[in-house]
């Protein structure tokens, strides 16, 4: 089951950013499928670690584009990135240390994170004129 489906509403017009958004959606969906299949905790942790690495790399690209274009909301966007990376690290640590966790809550957090971050920050990248 796809939790998030790529659509043009997620397109920023920056090809590298858009491609990475699509990959991120695939990773989140893969994590959710593995949750539903009761995959081993180690598998889930590995997927979360991959999501973290993908997002970290993606944020570096976005920040590079924003700096290059003197994006006026750069600091707020960068701070949101740091906060989101902390949250993913916290998800992973919680999963590693807990014998019980709520898969639905974790799926909801990942979905909300992507959708809210996109709507409040990434959608504004359209202003850069790409």
Instruction: Tell me the average confidence (pLDDT) per consecutive run of 10 residues in the chain, 130 residues long.
Output: 78 82 87 86 90 89 88 89 89 83 75 76 63
Domain-located, residue 118: yes
The number of folded domains in the chain is 1
User: Which three-class secondary structure state does DSSP give residue 107?
Assistant: helix
User: What is the per-residue pLDDT for 104?
Assistant: 76
Domain-located, residue 77: yes
User: What is the per-residue pLDDT for 127?
Assistant: 58
Q: Which two tokens stand for residue 6?
A: 């790529």
Domain residues for the domain of 91 are 14-128
The enclosing domain of 96 has a CATH number of: 1.20.120.50
Torsion angle of C-alpha atoms 71, 75, 79, 85, degrees rounded to 10: 40
User: What is the per-residue pLDDT for 46?
Assistant: 92
User: What is the per-residue pLDDT for 116?
Assistant: 78
Are the beta carbons of 29 and 3 closer than 8 angstroms?
A: yes
Are the beta carbons of 30 and 47 closer than 8 angstroms?
A: yes
């Amino acid at each position: 089951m796809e939790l998030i489906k790529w659509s043009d509403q997620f397109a920023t017009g920056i090809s590298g950013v858009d491609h990475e958004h699509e990959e991120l959606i695939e990773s989140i969906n893969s994590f959710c499928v593995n949750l539903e299949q009761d995959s081993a905790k180690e598998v889930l942790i590995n997927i979360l670690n991959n999501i973290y690495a993908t997002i970290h790399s993606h944020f570096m690209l976005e920040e590079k584009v924003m700096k290059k274009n003197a994006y006026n909301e750069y600091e707020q966007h960068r701070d949101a990135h740091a906060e989101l990376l902390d949250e993913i690290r916290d998800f992973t640590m919680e999963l590693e240390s807990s014998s019980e966790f709520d898969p639905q809550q974790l799926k909801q957090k990942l979905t909300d994170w992507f959708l809210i971050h996109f709507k409040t920050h990434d959608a504004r990248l359209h202003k850069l004129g790409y």
